[in-house]
Chain A
């Protein structure tokens, strides 16, 4: 079976785009082949800084033949219908159609269309130019003489040549001939930019790989990564050092070289006064080099590993010397910044440094960094007792936490923010809790990052994230679709993880409302006019009216007294709209994370459907208990019984136009089963409530299980829709009591099964 080899040779492709481009090329070409009936055995894409290539293995030499029958009009139909049929079927005259007959429709024409499959190269020549022209580069450009034409090709950087061959292993393959924007496909490529000269003629994949390897190009990205990693480790080992591995850097570097040559350089050990993280950031970000660790001290060594794209004629001496010069200059900058910061911290008191944040805008609509820091400090102080932290210490920690943002080191290397705060806090002799919070309040930075566990850090981290969320909610900069420029999803997930993993108890709405109050007091957003609209929007998105009322009260209580007394009622509505919408967002995030952890989404929904479910830890405990309960025989049966009750109620309530709720008249309970059920509900109801008040969900559900037998017996023996309308209504009320009892645990209606 023949193979296809395609290589698109161009000027340097940005490293970050290479892996995605290889995958897109593979998918686009193979999908197009399959769509045209060309099924293949295997496909592999390759990418280097200068080429994007694809090998498709085991393609047929041509498309399969196809046969299609097309029904036409009946014999004797008007000429217009016949002409239309001939045109649609591509026939020259009606004699080419067969006449077939059907007992009901009579005689009619049928066209039998045989289509010979086209030769595969012809199909490829049609596909590839289309793929090239529509290639999904994140950013593409025009170039050269042709760039004025509206139809000019766009590519990531100028495309220089195309290689495309097709043929079986045993024969000389042919060039698949096509042209894209003046570039004709051929069977030649080029090797390494500096280590190879002239063009290389290529037949097929093996040949292409071998010849390019001989021309100093390793086409396989994974192999380049292996070479870099192994050589770097070997070099480190030879010096008794360890490579500080960095997967992201390795990815990037493998996209910057076609022929990786790993070399080692060193720098003046005096630079090791600078914190390791800063040295690493300098060397990694600016120079794309690896750093090395001394296993005896655990600290960085004064060496680095660079990856060049050249096997230099002097063995790399000049390249190492050049890189060392640049790194020396960079590190002396870093050292200068580090020393300047310490001098500043020693001479300028913290309060004075803090004032400077008044001139730094956090966000145009959310005021300065100083205002933000003060809000965070107030909120963190309020949260401190909840998480078992000292309030004053927490407030100080929050006031200190952002101070490194104005330091020279962080100005130069934003990725060491927080960490520098920790270093500087220690150097200033501040308590360890403050130093730790400076670093940890940014955590978790992502789903794999650790969560702070020290009480002061927890309080500051929560306050920081909640202030961000509330602020952006207030100015209506919520995440939409794939757009989340302020990483608000990450912030919400951070709050969730911090609370759950540290078992922090309490209703989320309270700190949220407090933050809203502070933002309002800062008069930072003036969308009061939109509050009404926001509330009506919320009411439309399936918010239980009772839930709305309850939330409104909690928010009003918490917003008002602290800071926003002088605000008109409308601001309460706005606060409510922001708070409840943000809470719904938290619920959504929690749902996603519970689902990812394996919880049933319907159970999560069933718990969230209850009013006031914003104590995240309780929600999770309730979901867990519910899952265990429903796995038992009692749970399953009770679920069935309560669903049955709910279904009957739904139908009858609709018919009657009323909602039934309590008020069962014991005198009207004639059957023993209905009496038993009413007794059981009356006896268990208060006990369940007590268990819930203790937050003992296991006990509450065990009690609920006691309803299973009476419910089952009731449905077996008692007819709800009795002839006597008085009896009927009384029984419906009894069903409503079942519903109410189960709803104290979860909305069973939303549970599947």
Chain B
């Protein structure tokens, strides 16, 4: 029990510690960083990214990868903006969000079926479906707009109930999406750590063959992981669309899948699977957004964000590899010592 708590949480503490350090550095060095308004924005962006990372964490903990979430965000944005403006804009916001979750889940299901039933390689499949989904978004936007690029519903979505999804709650300065994100992270933490489904996800991520031999339905768990990943991307898309009051057909080009993976990896969800939980994804998303937000305060141009995210993935993986090797070495040494004591 002791060992488990330590290795599992040391990694979280490292990332969380880095977040605190970053926040301190930015607060001390930039005037406009540490205030309600900016924090509200930071946690809005972190929540959007965090929702994507939250879904991805299920696929990644199960030892997989999903490169299609960017495409899902794109196509769902178009779909939900149409749905939200149906019939004189009277569709309740909750219903629209639910619709987006279902859409995203359906796209995730397609991924899952292709990977587990047609048995295609995950990264090629999701890379291709990701491109396909954003293309589908463009096609739908084309039908609505009559032209290809640009924003659907150019004058903005008029549905108040739907738009309230993207606003702050009461006078707190905290966006609704932030609350939703925190609540869902807690719920998914429970799912991951306390349910059979979560246990099976760890099992297939850690050793898929052994898990299968023990009676875990590997295909079903894997497929469900993709569905969850898609569903959360869909939800994130609805929240973003409401916040922007319009849907953009070029969302698929923003590399959300990449940011989501970066958030997971920096939070401590290993690329190989079997490690990490939604709390790791949460810390990772805050970490990434803190850097991106903080850099803006220094007037550093936007393209640095690409560089930083790429470096973060490589650095975090390198750190985890070394961290893993060191803990493995220590454990070996301990077990040899123990063996000699017998």
Whether A and B are associated in the same complex: the answer reads no
